[in-house]
């Protein structure tokens, strides 16, 4: 049975981002993927907690797609986590609604892979900055997957960007088809 995938987009200027536009278009082309743009849905940050929790219950795979902002996510994704992943729903003794679901981070960064290395400007790999998301998955009894990372977005030409977007779509398709464990 195909897995239902929810991609939560969190980019405050998505229309100006070539990389996130390419990833979003690639995700939209994958059958069984539902795109949900948090900035579009909640420009005032007044998040419909019950509606968002219902969306989570309807899907098997949750994807946080966003740029790396100050070594984390844009503000709306943090607000969404603070409100939607509440005690008694997502974690705690009674909070088992997300148990067994899968969480994937799909992130873009202007910095190169080398910039996110031990000798680079940021001193740590992006995977280190994503540890709070991994911890969130574990607290919610979700399965954490290695992230999809698109480095050096401002350096990518159209062909390279299209290739990486195709890679993203293929990963989502594997998740939908439960081929990726």
Task: Give pLDDT tens digits for 116-169.
Answer: 778 877 787 788 889 999 999 999 999 999 999 998 888 888 899 999 999 999
Residue 80 inside a domain? The answer is yes
Mean of the per-residue pLDDT values for the chain? Answer: 92
More confident residue, 74 or 127: 74
Residue 132: CB atoms within 10 Å: 13
Percent of the chain at pLDDT exceeding 90: 72
pLDDT confidence of residue 117: 78
Write out the residue range of the structural domain in which residue 64 sits. Answer: 5-176
CATH number at residue 15: 3.40.50.360
Q: Does 181 fall in a domain?
A: no
Residues 6 or more apart in contact with residue 148 via CB below 8 angstroms: 104, 105, 106, 107, 167, 168, 171
Q: Which two tokens stand for residue 178?
A: 């439960």
What's the predicted TM-score (pTM) here?
Answer: 0.94
How many alpha carbons lie under 13 Å from residue 60 in its C-beta half-sphere? Answer: 12
Tell me the two tokens of residue 117.
Answer: 């290395």
Domain assignment present for residue 71? The answer is: yes
Query: What are the tokens at 163?
Result: 């290739």
Asked if 110 and 152 count as a contact pair (C-beta separation under 8 A), the reply is: yes
Using the structure block, give the residue that is written with the tokens 């081929």: 179
Residues with Cβ within 8 Å of 95's Cβ and at least 6 positions away in sequence, in order, are 86, 87, 88, 89, 140
**In the predicted structure, residue 76 carries a pLDDT above the cut 90:** yes
| Phi (first) and psi of residue 85, to 5 degrees | -85, 60
74 in a structural domain: yes
d(CA 59, CA 6): 6
Number of C-alpha atoms within 13 angstroms, CB side, residue 174? Answer: 11
- Counting the structural domains of the chain, the total is 1
């Amino acid at each position: 049975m195909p897995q239902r995938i929810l991609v939560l987009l969190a980019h405050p200027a998505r229309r100006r981002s070539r990389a996130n536009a390419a990833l979003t278009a690639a995700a939209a082309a994958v059958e069984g993927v539902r795109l949900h743009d948090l900035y579009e849905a909640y420009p005032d940050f007044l998040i419909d907690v019950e509606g968002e929790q219902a969306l989570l219950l309807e899907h098997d795979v949750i994807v946080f797609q966003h740029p790396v902002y100050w070594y984390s996510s844009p503000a709306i994704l943090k607000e969404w986590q603070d409100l939607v992943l509440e005690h008694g729903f997502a974690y705690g003794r009674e909070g088992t609604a997300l148990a067994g679901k899968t969480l994937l981070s799909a992130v873009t960064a202007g910095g190169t892979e080398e910039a996110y290395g031990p000798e680079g400007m940021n001193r740590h790999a992006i995977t280190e900055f994503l540890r709070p998301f991994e911890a969130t998955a574990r607290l919610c009894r979700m399965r954490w997957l290695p992230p999809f990372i698109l480095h050096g977005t401002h350096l990518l030409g159209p062909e390279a960007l299209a290739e990486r977007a195709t890679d993203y779509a293929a990963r989502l398709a594997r998740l939908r088809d439960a081929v990726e464990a």
